Amino acid sequence: MGKPSKEKMIEMYRAMVKIRKTEQKLMEVFSNGEILGFLHVSIGQEAAPVGICSHLTEADYIATTHRGHGHAIAKGIDLKMAMAELFGKNAGYCLGRSGSMHLADKSRGIMGANGIVGAGIPIATGAAFAAKYKKTDQVAVATFGEGATGEGAFHEALNFAAIKKLPIVYLCENNGWAEFSPMSIHAPVQSITQRALAYDIPAVTVANDVLEIYEEAGKAVERARKGEGPTLVEVRSERWYGHYVGDAQKYRGKENVAQAMAKDCLLNFEKDLLQAKVMKKRDIENINAELDTEIKAAVRFARECPYPEVSEMMEGLYL
């Protein structure tokens, strides 16, 4: 798996900026009270979803987590419809029934964010099972944090996938914090790769660097597509804003947060691209401006859409 082409790198940069800016905008409208419930943003973790989704087609599957906006954007979700869903509007992907925590787009294989930690792992494994059953070349990706690896769902899914050599990549974004607890409290291992080895699943740890992730995720996706079975990729990512927006992170300390913010996967990539002359300062400004416009338009669309009618609440429970 070589380095991505120039065009691919620009595309990856654009996707990372799109995630960052969308999350920033969501924090803003959440604090305005325009978005209800809980909001879990992935700022600081943009590299992992982009690194892996760069290898996926629309037909491939991804099951994500409560911190799932990044994966959905990297997989190509329509921003207007996604924003409408987060605003709880009828025009949203899930008719305003899911909000942030269950955002899904079947047309692009986005099987849904999940409100239950670890629950998406066996579901994505089921998508991989379906791909193998139907003899397609589709690949499934399960994303989760290191905290989810304490769940039985993680172990049961990996065990089965390994036995059946299912076409799946387990992408663990290890941001060091399982909700409010550091890894030292809930895991005796230093790396989640050690857990994969128990199931004879090849596993690798990479830094929060989009090109490194691209390379290792690429190998994992290729292995899956060739029928060689599952791989686990652990990304040492950084969570900047706590478990949910509004989490004061008192358990963590300002220094720890500052350290996380200093390891900015987006800024680092931007510097690398400038240094390698893949892009000029001007290109970067243009991309940023274009995305600002796109996100603004998505928010405007979401604001203007109507809420679902109360009379629609009972519709569609059963077929």
The binding site for another protein (CB under 8 A) comprises 61, 63, 92-98, 102, 104-106, 111-112, 114-116, 119, 121-131, 133-134, 140, 152-153, 155-157, 159-160, 163, 316-319
Q: Give the nearest distance from C-beta 235 to another protein in angstroms.
A: 23
Q: Give the nearest distance from C-beta 201 to another protein in angstroms.
A: 14
Token pair recorded at residue 224 = 């899956």
Q: Are 46 and 264 in contact (CB under 8 A)?
A: no
Neighbours of 206 (CB within 10 A): 21
Select 158 or 279, whichever has its Cβ closest to another protein: 158
How far is 88 from 174, CA to CA, in rounded Å? Answer: 30
Q: Give the nearest distance from C-beta 36 to another protein in angstroms.
A: 16
Q: Give the nearest distance from C-beta 107 to another protein in angstroms.
A: 8
Select 14 or 225, whichever has its Cβ closest to another protein: 225
Select 153 or 235, whichever has its Cβ closest to another protein: 153
Residues contacting 10, CB < 8 A, separation 6+: 273, 278, 279, 283, 287
How far is 315 from 307, CA to CA, in rounded Å? Answer: 15
Residues contacting 274, CB < 8 A, separation 6+: 280, 281, 284
Select 127 or 232, whichever has its Cβ closest to another protein: 127
Rounded to 10°, the helix 265-275/210-225 angle is 100
How far is 102 from 109, CA to CA, in rounded Å? Answer: 14
Select 81 or 266, whichever has its Cβ closest to another protein: 81
Q: Give the nearest distance from C-beta 127 to another protein in angstroms.
A: 5
Select 267 or 313, whichever has its Cβ closest to another protein: 313
How far is 208 from 265, CA to CA, in rounded Å? Answer: 6
Q: Give the nearest distance from C-beta 113 to another protein in angstroms.
A: 10
R_g over Cα of the chain: 19
Beta pairing class for 140-145 and 61-63 = parallel
Q: Give the nearest distance from C-beta 143 to another protein in angstroms.
A: 14
Select 123 or 287, whichever has its Cβ closest to another protein: 123
Q: Are 25 and 82 in contact (CB under 8 A)?
A: no
How far is 314 from 95, CA to CA, in rounded Å? Answer: 12
